[in-house]
Amino acid sequence: MSATGFVPKKILLTGATGFVGQHLAKRILHQKDISLRLASRSKLKQFVDPTIATFFPMDISTNLNWHTALQGCEVVIHTAARAHIMKETVADPLKEFRKINVEGTLNLARQAALLGVRRFIFISSIKVNGESTLPNQAFSADDLPNPSDAYAISKYEAEQKLKHLSATSAMEIVIIRPPLVYGPGVKGNFQRMIRWLQKGIPLPLGAVINKRSFVSVDNLISLILTCVTHPKAANQVFLVSDNEDLSTTELLQRIGQVMQRSTRLLPIPQNVLKGFATLLGQKAVFERLCGSLQLDINKTCKLLDWKPEMNVNEGLRLTIAP
């Protein structure tokens, strides 16, 4: 069944209380004639009003019955996942990631297909492509995947199983692989960088020569909503970014400019930083700060006639604004 030209009347959004999910729900709620159903482990007050959206307190699992939440829905946007965890505590991380990101996702997708959902949009990760790129050699959507950690492997396995489901059912699959997403309320490494600069902490990152792609949550949502209805999105994999790659030094400088604060960035050579990071057992941290990770979004832009709606400076301004 084709989704050509249709505008869905009912959408199910999973992970509705997550970072991307909250922003996406708010955007969809501004659109008329769309009934939004929200699924998440926890409930947000702004989504309680049944005239605005219907909330389903559901945790992703391998045997969860989605029938009530899916009834009448034409599109599922699946943002829920067991996310990449910096300090893993379980004995078998891959097993835990597979429970939610693979088995839980497929349980939802199979039920969606049986109930006549027309399109299933899966928010994956650029980590499916790999952990890093050489400078000026960006990942593309059609590159051979090269996931390395448990989180990335689970996302890749989910993608493969969704593609097989699409090939054996009438439901279309759309896969989106974003890099680091930032925006109002962002946490993790991006939030830490902002706090470092706010406190005026000197950082040894004034001479980092790398290139990294980022995506503002507004640009990611813009692409997701384009994929809800665009006929050419069916059964495709898309990469997404702000289409403006920055070095870590440039990113910190941009953040400082937006905050109207001077940045105290010490020009320590990268090879010296790498040596210290290796001695301290923090090589992974060095790679995240100093390695390159670039995305080529030409396929996304050309096939969907899409472009990022927000530039980096505006995205940073909204992220940092009180």
Nearest to 161 by CA among 110, 229, 203, 208: 110
Parent domain of 234: 10-184+214-246
From CA 174, how far away is CA 244, in angstroms rounded?
24
pLDDT tens digits for 71-111?
999 999 999 998 866 666 777 889 999 999 999 999 999 99
Residue 136, domain member (yes or no) = yes
**Position 2 confidence tier, pLDDT thresholds 50, 70, 90:** very low
Q: What is the DSSP letter of 167?
A: H
From CA 188, how far away is CA 290, in angstroms rounded?
17
When divided into structural domains, the chain yields a total of: 1
Answer yes or no: are the C-beta atoms of 299 and 239 closer than 8 Å: yes
DSSP assignments along 21-49, one per residue = HHHHHHHHHTSTT-EEEEEESS--GGG--
Please state, rounded to an integer, the average pLDDT across all residues of the chain: 90
Write down the pTM of the prediction: 0.93
Q: In the predicted model, what is the mean pLDDT of residues 158-176?
A: 97
Q: In the predicted model, what is the mean pLDDT of residues 190-209?
A: 91
- What whole-number percentage of the chain has pLDDT above 70? 93
DSSP assignments along 47-116, one per residue = G--TTTEEEEE----SS---HHHHTT-SEEEE-------SS--SS-HHHHHIIIIIIIHHHHHHHHHHTT
Residue 305, domain member (yes or no) = no
Residue 146, domain member (yes or no) = yes
Residue 228, domain member (yes or no) = yes
Answer yes or no: are the C-beta atoms of 267 and 252 closer than 8 Å: no
Active-site entry in 97, 151, 190, 306: 151
- CA distances to 84, 98, 202 from 283, in Å: 17, 26, 20
Structure-block tokens of residue 96: 């835990």
CATH number, domain containing residue 178 = 3.40.50.720
> In this structure, is the dihedral angle defined by the CA atoms of residues 230, 236, 240 and 244, taken in order, positive or negative?
negative
**Position 47 confidence tier, pLDDT thresholds 50, 70, 90:** low
Give φ, ψ of 154 to 5 degrees. Answer: -65, -40
Residue 259, domain member (yes or no) = no
Residue 264, domain member (yes or no) = no
Could you confirm whether 151 is annotated as catalytic? yes
**Position 44 confidence tier, pLDDT thresholds 50, 70, 90:** low
Residue 224, domain member (yes or no) = yes
Hunting for tokens 């945790």 — which residue is that? 59
Q: What is the DSSP letter of 300?
A: H
CB under 8 A, 24+ apart: contacts of 87-94: 88/150, 93/150, 93/151, 94/150, 94/153, 94/154
Structure-block tokens of residue 57: 């307190």
Task: Read off the amino acid at residue 166.
Answer: S
Residue 260 has pLDDT above 80, yes or no: yes
In this predicted structure, which of 58-72, 92-106, 140-154 has the lowest mean pLDDT?
A: 58-72
Residue 76, domain member (yes or no) = yes
Q: In the predicted model, what is the mean pLDDT of residues 182-186?
A: 94
From CA 256, how far away is CA 134, in angstroms rounded?
27
